Amino acid sequence: MQTLEYNKQTGKITLNTYTKDEFLELEIDITEQVITLVLEKLYDDYDIDEGDELLVRKKKTLSSHSKIKL
């Protein structure tokens, strides 16, 4: 099983692979790649040009560790 995970304490977004027994087998730090993709998508979705400003507001608090199963 693979998961995308965000650990608020370390600030890392990782792609993790687990065994059938749910033991961590492989962890790949993909933080920089994910942030780049998200920013590109935001700029495309809101038609923002390079040099324009983007204001980000926090609406809710994330848990200390978020996990998405793939």
49, two tokens: 């040009």
The 3-state DSSP class for residue 9 equals coil
DSSP character string of 27-69:
EEE-HHHHHHHHHHHHHHHTTPPTT--------SPPPSEEEEE
Per the structure, the count of domains in the chain is 1
Residues 8-48 pLDDT 10s: 899 999 999 999 999 999 999 999 999 999 989 988 998 98
For residues 63 and 9, is the Cβ–Cβ distance under 8 A?
no
* pLDDT at residue 52 tops 70: yes
* Angle value at C-alpha 36, between 70 and 32, nearest 5 degrees: 75
> Predicted confidence band at 62 (pLDDT cuts at 50, 70, 90)?
low
CA distance 44 to 32: 18
Enclosing domain of residue 25 = 2-69
pTM: 0.75
* pLDDT at residue 59 tops 80: no
